[in-house]
Amino acid sequence: LYIGGTRDVPFGFDFHGDVFKMNASTGAITSYVSVVHPTITITPGFNEVRTMCSAPNGNLYYCTLDTVGSVSSALTINYGQPSGYHYPYYLPYSNTGGGQGSNSCRATMQYLYTTDGQTLDKRDINTGNALTTVTIPGGSANNNSGVAIDTCGNVYVGSQSSVVKYDANLNMITSATTPAAVYDVSIGINGDVLACGNNFAVALAMSACPQIR
């Protein structure tokens, strides 16, 4: 079991963004690696992992508050670089807390797709470099989330009022309206796309192929 989060460095007000490998039977941490990029652009000492996913190539991909990167299943760092995002600690953004985790990255064998709620980026999976960037219709930075990929290469992302479907090159195909801001997206059965958010959970008919694993 792999978990992205934060580790407090003893004897210092310093919280590192780390990826942890855990024994799923006992809950014990077996190893971990710090994935904080050296050029922190947010509050000094804080840079937690906000979202993480696995890929068919066996690697893990993550975003800290300002970094995109990758580690192997053995927790060897493959790369890390500024993402162009500035994730807050809370989703939706709030100065008073009460937030939640973020589902903001998904990967195929060739590409890594990431979002900050306002933009969706198609990245080179080997470097993290952004290849294509689009603005999500009705999206809002750090106030909506959710991204899923199907086996046909289509990408589904949440906005403030809908789930938007793109092809693998981020050409928009269609969208489906939701009752409120979307926080998470997944693909169900029979071509349904599952979305949940601010006091709702819906199944949307969007002709999806099976979800990529």
Q: Look at residues 166, 208, 161, 159 and name the one whose alpha carbon lies nearest to residue 186.
A: 208
Phi, psi of 193 (to 5 degrees): -115, 125
Q: What is the full per-residue pLDDT of the chain (213 aa) written as tens digits?
A: 999 988 876 655 567 789 999 999 999 999 999 887 544 444 445 678 889 999 999 999 999 888 999 999 999 999 999 999 988 766 676 655 556 668 999 999 999 999 999 999 999 999 999 999 999 999 999 889 999 999 999 999 999 999 999 999 999 999 999 999 999 999 998 889 999 988 899 999 999 999 877
Element (H, E) at 21: strand 15-22
Taking the C-alpha atoms of residue 89 and residue 69, their distance in angstroms, rounded to an integer, is 19
